[in-house]
Amino acid sequence: MVAASVLGVSTTASAYQATFQELGTPLRDVTFVVVDLETTGTNAKEGGITEIGAVKVRGGEVLGEFQSLVNPGQPVPAFIARLTGITNAMVATAPDIALVLPSFLEFARDTVLVAHNAPFDVGFLKAMCARLDYEWPGFDVVDTVPLARRLVTRDEAPNHKLSTLARLFHASVSPDHRALADARATVDVLHALFDRLAPMGITHLEDLATAADPVPPEVRRKRHLADDLPDAPGVYLFRGPGDEVLYVGTSVNIRKRVRSYFTAAEKRKRITEMVRIAERVTPVACATPLEAQVRELRLITEHAPRYNRRSKFPERHSWVRLTDEAYPRLSVVGGVVAGAAHIGPFVSRRTAQEAVHALHDALDLRQCTARIPLVSKNPGSPCALAGMGRCSAPCMATQAPDTSYAQVADAAHRALTGDPGPVVRALSDRIATLAHQERYEEAGEVTRRLRAFVSGAHRAQKLAPLAACAELVAARPSGIGDAPGKPGGWEVVVIKHGRLAATDVSAPGANPLPLVSALRTTAEHVEPPVPPAPAAHPEETDLLIAWLDSPGVRLVHLSDTWACPVRAAGAHADLAWASDRVRVEMAVS
C-alpha cells in the first residue's frame, strides 16, 4: 500500500534523486552512425542507390566504417556520373541492394542515424526497405542541416552545404560526393556542432530533438532546471530571484512538461518572459492526477502567481440570491447565506447580471431595491413595470399582503433551486418569436441571458448536494483508461463538503479496505460550509464532480444524501428546448 497522501496538511517533502534514465542519455554515451548515400536521382520511389558509406562513432572515437558500391538496377545518369565519379562500369559488378541493405542495417543496429540533409538519405533507405519488404527499424535520426542553420550564422558561412561547413570547421576529410568521404566529413561537422550546443545546455540525446528550434539562448540555457524533477504526476512551481512563485502548473509527468517550456513548443510570450525570470522549479509529486489538479488550484489561490490567469481570485465569484424579504427580489452578491435560494457561482458579475435579466424576462419579480414591508402604511409610487403589468406593485399594498406577488416569488424559488423549466420555456418562446421577426441581435441577447441562468442554476444544483455531504468515499480501478497507477489497484478519494480531504492508490492486488480506513482516519478536517457554496474553491468541487462522474467509480461510504433534483437545470444545459422552439417557429414561417 502506498503511503497515504493527505491534502491540507503541511508535510516535509523527501529529497528526490533522479536516475540517469530520467536525466536522459549524455551525447558522449550515444553511438551514432553517420551515413551518406549516392543515388541515381532525387526520387526515392523511382531511383536507386549506387553507394552507401557510414561511420560509427561514440564519444568522439571512430568505432567502425561501412562502405559498399551498390548495383542500382538501372543506368547511372551521365550528370550523376560526372558529379560522383560513379559510372555504370563501376556498379555493374557491385552487389544488389538486397545484399547490401541487410549488412548496413546490422551495422547501424541500436544506434542513432546522422546525415546531412537526413530526409534524403533516410528517405531512400526507407524506400529500399519497403521495396524489399523489410521492416524499418525506427532509428532515431539527427539531421545536421537544421542544427547548422541554428548554430552557424551567415557571417561565418554563406550557406550550410556540407562542403562549406567542412571548410569552416576544418574537417580532416574534404567531401567529394563519394559516400564514405562525405560521411567522414559529416562526422567532423557533427562534433563541431556539438561543441557549440554544449554551452546552450544541450548535452543529452533528448535535447537534440528541439536543438534546432528558434528558442532564445537565455531560455534554452535554463533547461537544466528540469534535470532533477521527477517523472511523476504532480505540480510544479516556477520561482523567481526572490523565491516568489511566478507560475504554477500541473502534469502527469512533471519533468517532461517542464522541459517543454524551454523549447519552441512553448509559444506564449508571457510564459517565455516568465522562464527568463525563473531561477528554479519546485516539484510537488502527487499520488494521482486528481490530487495534482487540486493542489495546483490551491497553490494558485494561495500565491496568486502573476503569470497564471485562472482561478487566482475565487472571492471575486458572484452569486445570484433571492433575498429574504417580505417581497423577495433578485440580488447579485459575493457570498451565500443560510436559508436563501442561490444560483452560481458565476465567474463575473456581468454574467450573474445576465442571469438576473433572464429571470426578470420570464417572471414578474420586482426590480426596485428598497425594502418593502408586508403592508405599507404609506403607499409608494408604482413604477413603469407596474404600468406595463410586469409587477403587481407590492409597494402599493396598504390593506392586505400582496398574495399575487407571493406566487411569483415561489415560482422564482422553484426556478433557482429545482425545475427551471417554466423560465426556459418562456424565454425559448421569446427567442423563437424574435428569430421569426428576424430580430437576430435581440434573440442572441436573450439566448446569452438564458444560457447564463441555466449554467448558474445547474452549477449550484451540482455543488449543493456535495457541499452538504460530510463525508463521501469513492474508488475506481487504477490503470484502466485514464486512471493512474498499475492495473489491479484502486484509486481512493475522500471528499468532505465538496473538498478533497485525502487520496491515494492501493497496490495492485492488495485489499483496498485498509487504505480506505487509513485515509478516512487521517483525512483533513473540514468545517461545514453554507450550501450551495462548498468548503473549497468551486473549481475544486467541479473537478471532484467530474471525477465522480468518470467510468468505473464506485461509492464506498456516504454519510449523507447525495442527489440532484429530478427536474433540474442539467436537463436544459444544452438549451435543446430553445433550439427546438426556434426550428418549429422558422419551419412554420
304: alpha, beta or left? (left if phi > 0; alpha if psi -120 to 50): left
The one-letter amino acid code at 275 reads V
Please name the residues in contact with 285: beta carbons below 8 A apart, sequence gap of 6 or more.
Answer: 13, 16, 230, 232, 233, 234, 254
Alpha-carbon gap, residue 257 to 236, rounded angstroms: 9
Alpha-carbon gap, residue 503 to 516, rounded angstroms: 9
SS3 503: strand
Contact 462, 570 (CB under 8 A): yes
The one-letter amino acid code at 165 reads L
Alpha-carbon gap, residue 404 to 173, rounded angstroms: 99
Rg of the chain, C-alpha, whole Å: 35
Catalytic residue among 177, 191, 303, 413: 177
Q: Would you give the DSSP letter of residue 57?
A: E
Q: What is the per-residue burial (b if ≥16 Cβ within 10 Å, else e) of 110-122?
A: ebbbbbbbbebbb
Active site residue 191: no
Q: Which single residue is written with the C-alpha cell 404600468?
A: 387
Contact 98, 84 (CB under 8 A): no
The closest alpha carbon to 72, from 57, 53, 93, 102, belongs to 93
Angle at 205 between CA 199 and CA 211, to 5 degrees: 55
* Cβ count near 446 (within 10 Å): 22
- Give the rounded distance of the alpha carbon of 216 from its chain centre: 24
Contact 556, 547 (CB under 8 A): no
Residues annotated as catalytic are 177
